[in-house]
Copies of this chain bind each other. A is one copy, B any other.
Amino acid sequence: MKFSTEELFDGIRSGNKRLIAKAITLVESKKSEHRVQAEELLKKIMPFTGNSIRVGVTGVPGAGKSTFIENFGRLAIANGKKVAVLAIDPSSAINKGSILGDKTRMEELAKEENAFIRPSPSSGFLGGVANTTFETMMICEAAGYDYILIETVGVGQSEVLVADITDVFLFLKIIGGGDELQGIKRGIMEMVDVIFINKVDADNLQKAKNTKLELKRALDFIPPKEKNWKIPVLLGSALHNEGLDEIFEKIDAFINLKKKNNRFEEVRIQQAEKRFEYWVQEYILAMMKRDDSVEEAYTEHKKNASAMVSNPSTEAKLFVEKFLRESRSDI
């Protein structure tokens, strides 16, 4: 990296987009010398983080996420806020078109002085896309962005990762042709805080109202993440700027409720603890895989466990003992 940590830090703090982008490239790098500088930089910016509202946005392709983010972001900017858009999109590495597509679709937002758009990292450090997204979010917060919108297309475990780093989780739904399950992934209903039925117009208004009613009924059987929060189901059209104000209101209401319940900071602390635990496991796993004989042992013991040659916990114990013996020589 040709920029010093100091230069990057000053660039971030003064809101220099070019240097913000450089800093993000740094934290996304897998090279070990870059990681060292990244850690240095992150430590330096940490006291300036935490002041944004972190919004997760999910929905199937076709639900209108990009249009939503574009117009929602512009509305926030019109209200005097700064908006950063990040993406957790494991599919983008495969389908390169989607990144370009997003950029094109968000071009109005991209022109805004107070917007910063970062396409998905092609792959993260240790394969942990969510980790670099979290670090990127820290950089954006230190740069003074008020809203961080994190988009996911819902591949694999990406919603869980997004839910674990955001304050509020927004689910964009379109009206399914009779099949209400369309675009609803397992687990998603337990994760959302606000639902927005998008692409509603005069032609499908009645249908949208019915879907809303059905969703409301379904939500009667799904406990919300926060006590006393009735998950709102809103109707609108992101393309025509309809219903977006209401989403801001609901997000504010949700954040206020969390703060009132002393849950806002509490949840962020829990998220950080969870991330710590996750990374302890990831690093231990990485250590295991550094050594061929340990990795082989892992595979073999796991195979024994799954074939029920013996008890999975017995196999786990045998493996861990072997691993800790072997790891002596590694350090």
Q: Which residue of B lies closest to A301 (CB)?
A: B276
Check A281–B281 contact: CB distance below 8 A. yes
Determine whether A287 belongs to the interface, using a CB cutoff of 8 Å to chain B. Answer: yes
Determine whether A209 belongs to the interface, using a CB cutoff of 8 Å to chain B. Answer: no
Check A272–B316 contact: CB distance below 8 A. no
Residues of chain B with a CB closer than 8 A to A324's CB:
287, 327, 330-331
A39-47, A64-72, A245-253: which one contacts chain B? A39-47
CB < 8 Å neighbour of A221 from B50, B180, B225, B278: B180
Q: Which residue of B lies closest to A325 (CB)?
A: B331
In A299-316, which residues have CB < 8 Å from any B CB?
301-302, 305-316
Check A320–B287 contact: CB distance below 8 A. yes
CB < 8 Å neighbour of A314 from B43, B189, B273, B311: B43
State how many residues of chain A have any CB contact under 8 Å with chain B: 69
Residues of chain B with a CB closer than 8 A to A280's CB:
298, 316, 319-320
**CA–CA, A131 to B311, complex, Å?**
10
- Number of identical protomers: 2
Interface of A is mostly: helix
**CA–CA, A184 to B49, complex, Å?**
37
**CA–CA, A108 to B329, complex, Å?**
60
Residues of chain B with a CB closer than 8 A to A7's CB:
none
A54–chain B nearest beta-carbon distance, Å: 13
A85–chain B nearest beta-carbon distance, Å: 21
A44–chain B nearest beta-carbon distance, Å: 10
**CA–CA, A222 to B131, complex, Å?**
29
CB < 8 Å neighbour of A46 from B215, B309, B328: B309
Q: Which residue of B lies closest to A222 (CB)?
A: B189
Determine whether A317 belongs to the interface, using a CB cutoff of 8 Å to chain B. Answer: yes
Residues of chain B with a CB closer than 8 A to A222's CB:
184, 186, 189, 218, 222
In A168-183, which residues have CB < 8 Å from any B CB?
180-181
Residues of chain B with a CB closer than 8 A to A185's CB:
223
Determine whether A260 belongs to the interface, using a CB cutoff of 8 Å to chain B. Answer: no
Determine whether A187 belongs to the interface, using a CB cutoff of 8 Å to chain B. Answer: yes
**CA–CA, A214 to B217, complex, Å?**
7
CB < 8 Å neighbour of A184 from B39, B223, B272: B223
Check A276–B315 contact: CB distance below 8 A. yes
A210–chain B nearest beta-carbon distance, Å: 11
Residues of chain B with a CB closer than 8 A to A287's CB:
320, 324
In A188-232, which residues have CB < 8 Å from any B CB?
189-190, 214-215, 217-223, 225
In A123-141, which residues have CB < 8 Å from any B CB?
128, 131, 134-135, 138
Q: Give the 3 A-B CB pairs with smallest separation, nearest first.
A: A279-B316, A276-B305, A275-B312
